[in-house]
């Protein structure tokens, strides 16, 4: 049974809907401890002073902001506590917008929003109204002394809350120097046709269950083998790619491979097996692409 990590209410105009937040994502990371290879004992970390190497008691630790190398402003816990936002225990909706207006780069962590027993009707009313309007609510709330910007949206008859990063936390694309030169890159019509055909050949409906963390699976298998005393199998290192790739040849080969994979797929329709209506079974050549362009 999952445990609620926050409780409060949604403030919607003059309506308050008591709710609880539950984690919508459960990370499946494999955790490790640092060990002493000589003895197999755990390695313990200590907080020590850089001045003399002595261990610093926890109650003597304060936060410091580095102004310049080795020059810090020290902040006491009470000074930081005074800046904490008021814990109002409400998710204050400020506006409604279209989901398409939010760039996914702004989304952070996701939570399910559940109503308490006495708030099921106003909760359901808000969900159905948002679904009918196709709108997302932008709100603010405080959790664990931190104020969050959040997006509330209706999903499968319930509310999903996604915390959001602030605009000044998104790194400008101009800060990436390699992207600046892209405006000078010229793409031919033939290359664009082939790339579009490759995208079409690989297009399908998203099924999250088809994707797994393959590294985590291999890591757990390795741990299980070593726990049973079996030797580890170290795969040979893949050769590094060398040489200049012929872009058109690579696109044509990719389209052919994608179409062949689609024909072999067990869910392929008769149209797919024959290449699809209006979709030739063989990859389009450079000359055909030029004609299409």
Give tens-digit pLDDT for 199-253.
Answer: 888 888 888 888 888 888 888 888 888 888 887 777 667 666 555 568 778 878 8
More confident residue, 253 or 272: 253
Whether the per-residue pLDDT at 54 is higher than 90: the answer is yes
Whether the per-residue pLDDT at 93 is higher than 90: the answer is yes
pLDDT given for residue 243 in this prediction: 54
Q: What is the pTM of this model?
A: 0.69
Whether the per-residue pLDDT at 276 is higher than 50: the answer is no
The mean per-residue pLDDT over the stretch 120-130 comes to 94
The mean per-residue pLDDT over the stretch 162-188 comes to 89
What is the domain partition of the chain in residue ranges?
A: 6-25+84-168, 184-202+246-293
pLDDT given for residue 241 in this prediction: 59
pLDDT given for residue 238 in this prediction: 62
pLDDT band at residue 277, thresholds of 50, 70 and 90?
very low
pLDDT band at residue 282, thresholds of 50, 70 and 90?
very low
In this structure, what token pair is assigned to residue 15? Answer: 């309506």
Whether the per-residue pLDDT at 264 is higher than 80: the answer is no
Whether the per-residue pLDDT at 107 is higher than 60: the answer is yes
pLDDT given for residue 104 in this prediction: 93
DSSP of 74-104, one letter per residue? Answer: EE-HHHHHTTSPP---EEEEEEEEEGGGS-G
pLDDT given for residue 67 in this prediction: 92
Give the rounded percent of residues in the chain with a pLDDT score beyond 90.
Answer: 44
Beta bridge partners of 154: 159
pLDDT given for residue 48 in this prediction: 94
Whether the per-residue pLDDT at 286 is higher than 50: the answer is no
Average pLDDT, the chain: 84
Whether the per-residue pLDDT at 87 is higher than 50: the answer is yes
Architecture field, domain 6-25+84-168? Beta Barrel (2.40)
């Amino acid at each position: 049974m999952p445990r609620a990590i926050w409780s409060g209410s949604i403030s919607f105009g003059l309506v308050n809907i008591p709710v609880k937040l539950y984690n919508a994502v459960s990370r499946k990371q494999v955790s490790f401890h640092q060990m002493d290879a000589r003895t197999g004992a755990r390695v313990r970390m200590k907080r020590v002073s850089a001045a003399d190497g002595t261990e610093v008691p926890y109650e003597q630790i304060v936060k410091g902001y580095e102004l310049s190398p080795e020059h810090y402003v020290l902040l006491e816990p009470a000074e930081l506590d005074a800046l904490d936002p008021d814990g109002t225990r409400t998710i204050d909706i400020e506006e409604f917008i279209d989901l398409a207006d939010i760039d996914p780069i702004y989304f952070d962590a996701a939570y399910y929003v559940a109503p308490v027993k006495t708030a099921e009707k106003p909760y359901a009313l808000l969900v159905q109204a948002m679904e009918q309007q196709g709108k997302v609510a932008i709100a603010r709330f405080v959790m664990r002394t931190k104020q969050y910007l959040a997006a509330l949206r209706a999903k499968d008859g319930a509310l999903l809350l996604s915390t959001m990063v602030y605009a000044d936390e998104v790194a400008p694309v101009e800060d990436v120097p390699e992207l600046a030169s892209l405006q000078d890159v010229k793409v031919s019509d033939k290359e664009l046709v082939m790339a579009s055909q490759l995208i079409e050949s690989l297009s399908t409906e998203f099924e999250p269950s088809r994707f797994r963390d393959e590294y985590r699976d291999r890591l757990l298998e390795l741990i299980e083998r070593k726990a049973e005393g079996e030797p580890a199998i170290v795969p040979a290192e893949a050769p590094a790619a060398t040489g200049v790739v012929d872009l058109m040849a690579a696109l044509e080969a990719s389209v052919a491979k994608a179409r062949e994979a689609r024909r072999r797929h067990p869910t392929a329709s008769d149209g797919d097996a024959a290449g699809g209506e209006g979709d030739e079974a063989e990859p389009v050549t450079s000359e055909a692409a030029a004609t299409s362009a």
